[in-house]
Amino acid sequence: MSVFKDKISELTVSESVITEDCTFIGNINTKGSIKVEGVVEGNITSSKEVFVTKTARVNGDIVCGRCVVYGNINGNIIASNSVEIMSIGCVNGDIRTSRIMIEDGAYICGNIDMKKEKV
């Protein structure tokens, strides 16, 4: 019976997508995850994950649990869990998180503030 209950909870997790041919102007606030393939002109707040693809550009701050960056972000990132910046990723802004992974070739112009994880 618990397996069925787990499947139901998986179905309730939402993912929003800003497609490559889309420009969104305004702030986004979601309880689920968001995948940005296009352009967002505004802040993004997600209780889960923000995934910025290689075709994406975000001009605003991101507040989330986990942020994965392949594209361009012009704004600050505050992630309660982790930030991952891939080799083609570019961040122009400050980053605050407890865990960070930066691939060789990634570009960051800003400060990185790593807080200690709670024990």
Instruction: Answer yes or no: is 60 within a domain.
Output: yes
What is the number of domains present in the chain? Answer: 1
pTM: 0.85
> Which residues have CB under 8 Å from 9's CB, separation 6+?
none
Work out the mean pLDDT of the chain and round it to a whole number: 89
pLDDT tens by residue, 4-45: 444 444 444 568 999 999 999 999 999 999 999 999 999 999
Instruction: Answer yes or no: is 6 within a domain.
Output: no
Instruction: Answer yes or no: is 4 within a domain.
Output: no
CA–CA distance, 105 with 60 (Å, rounded to integer): 23
pLDDT tens by residue, 59-72: 999 999 999 999 99
Q: Report the 3 state secondary structure along 31-52.
A: CCEEEECCEEECCEEECCEEEE
Instruction: Answer yes or no: is 108 within a domain.
Output: yes
Indicate the length of the chain as a whole number.
119
Domain that holds residue 78: 12-113
Instruction: Answer yes or no: is 119 within a domain.
Output: no
